[in-house]
Structure formats: structure tokens, C-alpha cells
Amino acid sequence: MELVMSEMDWTTRCFHHHEEVWKQRAEEAKSPGHVAYAWKQSQTWGKWARMAEDTFGELKDVEN
């Protein structure tokens, strides 16, 4: 159970990491198309992070 709880944390942190990576890419991009693509990727990773936090938070509440 401890491993599963850790994996939930790792997954959420991974999603947040990718969100930040894509934000940085968006800020460094030069063409409008690259900027738009990078922001969309950042939003997608951020959405997945929030969904994971919500879902995993509910599971952790049940476990405690």
C-alpha cells in the first residue's frame, strides 16, 4: 500500500513537472504556432495533474 501511495504522488509530480516544462517552452518559443502548441501542452499536463490530485486525494482519504 505504501508503494501505491508513493506512485500516486510521483504521478502527480510528474504531471506538474511536464506542465512547467511546456510553460517554459511556450515562453521561449519564437513562432506563434510553437507558442500555441506549447501552451496547449502545458494546459493538458496541468489538467491531468489536477485530475490525478482529485482522484488520488479521494483514494487517500478512503485509505486513512
Domain of residue 60, residue span? 14-23+32-64
Answer whether residue 2 is part of any domain.
no
21 vs 63: which has the higher pLDDT: 21
Answer whether residue 50 is part of any domain.
yes
Instruction: Give residue 62's pLDDT.
Output: 74
pLDDT in tens, 4-59: 999 999 999 999 999 999 999 999 999 999 999 999 999 999 999 999 999 998 88
Give how many domains the chain has, as a whole number.
Answer: 1
pLDDT band, residue 63 (cuts 50/70/90): low
Do residues 56 and 8 lie in contact, with contact meaning Cβ atoms separated by under 8 Å?
yes
Residue 25 phi/psi, 5-degree rounding, is -60, -40
The DSSP 8-state label assigned to residue 38 in this structure reads H
Answer whether residue 6 is part of any domain.
no
pLDDT of residue 61 exceeding 80, the answer is no
